[in-house]
Structure 1
């Protein structure tokens, strides 16, 4: 009897060893990827930038003697943003003006010759005036002679312009978005000092697979396209425009643009973009629990090895996620991948 139980025990041990050694491979549940025609909506996280912006570039170099506007300061076109010290330019202008003044001389004839002409006689008799006499004679009683050295006038004009340029003004209405001036408060000609952006019109660029271009065009033509941006509390409606320049590897660029007259939407802050096409499109519908971090899914190859795919997610509806790209029809997608699954892991399919 003991021999019988001992034999049974050895048999169970052998089976368990075989099971462990042969089944040391993780067992995974899979689904076969196949395209379905489903209503297409797209969700994406975006940040927006100002459509219109300008750099404030001083035309002169020097020490800034005024306060400098900080980031977030609202400014108007033509408003003085900061003042560069004009002292050195004023001194140059004074010296140039003095040199130009010295160049002016006045010559007055010491004695005019005796004139016995008819017009002189008429002048003596009071028949014509002195002005009429001078006009007839074409004479100038005073001759001005100006002899300004070459370049002085042009130099003075340049210095006077530099003095005006020391008042650095805003090129557009907007908000100061960046300050590039260091702690020494020095302005450098030709180097940006500030950046100003207009926050009343914002935009961003997204990439979508080119195979849905026709879907977007149809949605626009049939007026079923809705584009909105939300912060979780507020919703703003936007415009979607395909750009002429296409992306790489079968992708198209689209511009999202939204009016922001009250400046409620903040530049650089994350918002939820929702595109509702009102049209159907070919998508892969998979369980949301199949999605790993960084928008990856695990697939089982023909060799029963794990491989990873980075997918393009359109949106998540309930427990399912719509995929636009990144997987091929017929591939075996792991339904509930675990963290232990790595590229190259051998698995069995249950």
Structure 2
């Protein structure tokens, strides 16, 4: 059967390809072997240092966020339209500084009205007091002029009645002895009866004056009550006027001001949020197993990303007695002085609480640690027997320029300080002389 030209060409091509593969394969294998030989022969010269072991204070390391010790969403005590907002977000205010003003015209009008009514009540009271001669001191009806005059008239009439009665009695005795006539006696007796009637009338007038004075005193009491009621209304109006000016409750920074001029606010509205910054609290979620060793007053150091290796110092101030049943942790609070307002509420921090006792720790120079962003891990090359061995380590705090290694390294091991980019696990190394 004749061979097709295309089929024959395909067969020849496959044969050529097989021959080329056989030819190249040994060359490739030889090159790979040669490369490995070169790598094995390369010795990386590095600087090195030994991991140092020393005793340090026992610490509890946790993370948390700073919160303001005091934060107030300031609300107005009265409703009204905003006419002025003299502070902006970020401004520092002192206690009593104005942070918002409401329209105060209605409050001023009411205060003027109540002050006028108060003046009327004061005048009415003075008039009622003058009627009964009451200035200052307790009420005494006998000091009322009308009462005093009526009393004097009554006492005079009573004295005259007693005198006339005595004369009538004497004349009666004289009639019995025949020294005076019956007609003279009758005249004297009539005068005595008239004097007694006048005395009785004077007594009634005196009693009437007393009753009138007491009634007038009741009017004074009523006027006094009206005056006190008006004074209360004036005080309320003064407060309502003062409440149209909203002031900062304490020294701090304005973190929010959600209102603008022209808006109408009510007593449920927030016109600004003021946070106290001179002291902040750091809230740490702490595992319940650490509860036994913690107490108030322990020193705490914290770091935030914004300030790198700068340590901020504080003290534990509160331990929440309740443990979260889901996370098996509780909140530990620490107070940090912040007079320069370096720290801010909301900043995330890593913190260490210094506990009683000491423990062994391993430290290496910062240069020994390499951050591998691909695996998101910290790595160190340990030098042993002329070889570099890659270790993944867990880091702790920084102390005097050295990093604490929590796991992955033991004290006394030699670590590379440079050329980590040229090293790999198993690479040949030599420590440079004098290092």
Give the 3-state SS of the residue equivalent to 1:89 in structure 2.
Answer: helix
Task: State the distance in 2 between where 1:153 and 1:87 align.
Answer: 21
Match of 1:66 among 80, 84, 89: 84
Among 285, 306, 313, the residue aligned to 1:237? 313
1:258 is aligned to 2:336: yes
Q: Which has the higher strand share?
A: 1
Looking at structure 2, the residues matched to 67 and 204 of structure 1 have their Cα atoms a distance apart, in angstroms, of 32
Q: Is the 8 A contact 1:71 1:178 kept in 2?
A: yes
Structure 2 counterparts to residues 296-307 of structure 1, below 5 A: none
Answer yes or no: is the 8 Å Cα contact 1:75–1:176 preserved in 2: yes
Distance change (3 Å), C-alpha of 1:153 and 1:190? farther
Q: What is the CA-CA distance between 1:200 and the residue it aligns to?
A: 1.6
Structure 2: which 5+ runs fail to align? 1-17, 23-54, 132-144, 157-205, 361-368, 378-393, 409-435
Q: Distance in 2 between matches of 1:164 and 1:199?
A: 27
Q: Is the 8 A contact 2:302 2:352 kept in 1?
A: yes
- Corresponding residue number in structure 2 for 1:90: 108
- Pairing partner for 2:300 from 211, 217, 227: 227
2:238 is the alignment partner of 1:160: yes
Cα distance between partner residues in 1 of 2:397 and 2:327: 21
**Pairwise CA RMSD of aligned residues?**
5.4
1:90, CA displacement in angstroms? 2.4
Q: Tell me the alpha carbon deviations over residues 37-91 of structure 1, each in whole angstroms, 9 at most, x when there is no partner.
A: x986455554312112323221111122233322232223333333222112223
Question: 1:212 and 2:290 equivalent?
Answer: yes
- Determine if contact 1:288/1:320 at 8 Å carries over to the other structure: no
Alignment partner for residue 152 of structure 2, among 108, 114, 119?
A: 119
TM-score (norm 1): 0.52
Aligned pair in 2 of structure 1 residues 159, 292: CA closer, same or farther (>3 Å)? farther
Corresponding residue for 1:189?
Answer: 267
Pick from 57, 70, 75 the counterpart of residue 57 of structure 1.
75
Secondary structure of 2:95's partner?
coil
Q: Provide closer, same or farther for how the CA distance between residues 96 and 250 of structure 1 changes in structure 2, counting only shifts above 3 A.
A: closer
Larger helix fraction of residues: 2
1:202 shift after superposition? 0.8
